[in-house]
Structure 1
């Protein structure tokens, strides 16, 4: 690639480690952009774009030129559905920070500024809607989707990866989605929780949380799948009933 070209759109998102839906992540097409006035690439398997200089920022990661995290988010507006945009935004503004890992790649304000510069570009309406639902704290796409399911049903918004400490001040757990006032937690358990050591650790962790007065709603992918409306309705009922038993009322 000549110095006038840089990775963008979903290719930049993949380089940055942003979670993408399978239909997009599985594409073999590489997105490469140039600023207005330069020649976009023309090659098999490459999608060339010409971008207005005042709408984008370009950075470098491991020797690769690509659009900045905030610019990449704005460019995804024309490629992703609303919930997938929210998943991407949650990832960008959180990183692995709640676990003490890699910091966030962008701030919510940086995403807002980038969307503002994007103006009426592709996906502008979806981007503006996504900004209203992006939150700091989600550590996985499923956590984000669980939060959206809960909030859109009318239940109160939970805290994300809430830290629970034991009586000695030792960190006991990060509860995926939590209502600390009522000590109700929601934990999403993917297939990784089936591993022997993880399974044993989860049992001990849950019992210690219960010793501190917490009640935990455990969820799997079936419990939040849009294709299983009866299951999602049951999930919301489970959460609401736990909250009501702990003193919550609408």
Structure 2
């Protein structure tokens, strides 16, 4: 294999291999021998890079190859553009690369590519990796439009937390696309989006609270002692009910882990922080996990008891 033909993701195009003197028979032998993995017609990846990649990274490999094949008349869009920006892949279908035609009308799906039709203004697209990609606000809305509610809100929350868009910018763009068939559906999804959710877990938590009619909590609340010293920042809080909810997940521990700190040290530091909040404020701190989100009946009952007692 000629290293200069392979890009940083491990993707290589058939046309470049053929131009370098590696014909289709040689490409097929490399696939059978485990050197190359076929992503779609005309697009391959080194098997080493493909095997080391997770599902989201493999999707981005496919997208890279597709965009290299296509000319300047398409932009990477919808969930593919969202993943390219770094959005979470939780419950996001990854089998198709999504592009929006900038010149050619019509929608179709072929060779693992979903072609979307949509009017793109100059402000709706930008350049990335030498190709067109829909701009962040447009991407957040387009991705949410093709996803079920919960993963859609997780993507919207991520774009808000990353500072790539705001609720006001999303709502303003939504007004512009009022005539689109997805307007009402997107309006409902956007109503659930929250600034302050730092993970898929936190997005799922606030959706759970909404769905069960709990009062809306404050997210990322700074809890301070009587001297004004910061005790900690909590995921969810109902200050008037003296109640805090913290999500106990691996992602959170890695996000707040200090340089040189082990997981065990991080867990103990989190426990000390929680104990200080309890001791100084007298608030109740409830920790929840992924299992609580999958079967939330006991959790919701427990939260309602605490909220009612404090009220």
Alignment of 1:103-122 (within 5 A): 104-122=163-181
Structural RMSD (CA): 2.7
Cα distance change, pair 45–37 in 1 and its aligned pair in 2 (3 A) = closer
Cα distance change, pair 233–121 in 1 and its aligned pair in 2 (3 A) = same
Q: Could you say which residue in structure 2 is the equivalent of 1:3?
A: 72
How far 1:20 sits from its partner (Å)?
Answer: 3.2
- Structure 2 runs not aligned, ≥5 long: 1-69, 255-262
How far 1:55 sits from its partner (Å)?
Answer: 9.6
Whose relative contact order is higher, 1 or 2, with alpha carbons under 8 Å and at least 6 apart?
A: 1
Q: 2:112 aligns with which of 45, 54, 64?
A: 45
Find the aligned partners of 1:189 and 1:118 in 2 and give their Cα distance: 39
SS across alignment from 2:71: coil
Cα distance change, pair 90–119 in 1 and its aligned pair in 2 (3 A) = same
Q: Does 1:83 align with 2:150?
A: yes
How far 1:120 sits from its partner (Å)?
Answer: 4.2
Q: Could you say which residue in structure 2 is the equivalent of 1:238?
A: 302
- Structure 1 runs not aligned, ≥5 long: 96-103
2:92·2:151 contact (CA, 8 Å) conserved in 1? no
SS across alignment from 1:181: helix
C-alpha deviations, 1:143-197, integer Å up to 9, x for none? Answer: 1211121222222110111111234434322111101223210111113559312
* Matched residue count: 232
How far 1:39 sits from its partner (Å)?
Answer: 9.8
2:136·2:165 contact (CA, 8 Å) conserved in 1? yes
Find the aligned partners of 2:107 and 2:76 in 1 and give their Cα distance: 11
Cα distance change, pair 153–243 in 1 and its aligned pair in 2 (3 A) = same
Larger Rg: 2
SS across alignment from 2:223: strand
Find the aligned partners of 1:40 and 1:4 in 2 and give their Cα distance: 14
1:160·1:176 contact (CA, 8 Å) conserved in 2? yes
> Hey, which of these two has a bigger chunk of helix by percent?
2
2:197·2:219 contact (CA, 8 Å) conserved in 1? yes
Q: Could you say which residue in structure 1 is the equivalent of 2:285?
A: 216
Bigger drift between 11-20 and 76-85 goes to: 76-85
2:249·2:289 contact (CA, 8 Å) conserved in 1? yes
Q: Could you say which residue in structure 2 is the equivalent of 1:22?
A: 91
- When normalised by structure 1's length, the TM-score is 0.81
2:160·2:167 contact (CA, 8 Å) conserved in 1? yes
- When normalised by structure 2's length, the TM-score is 0.67
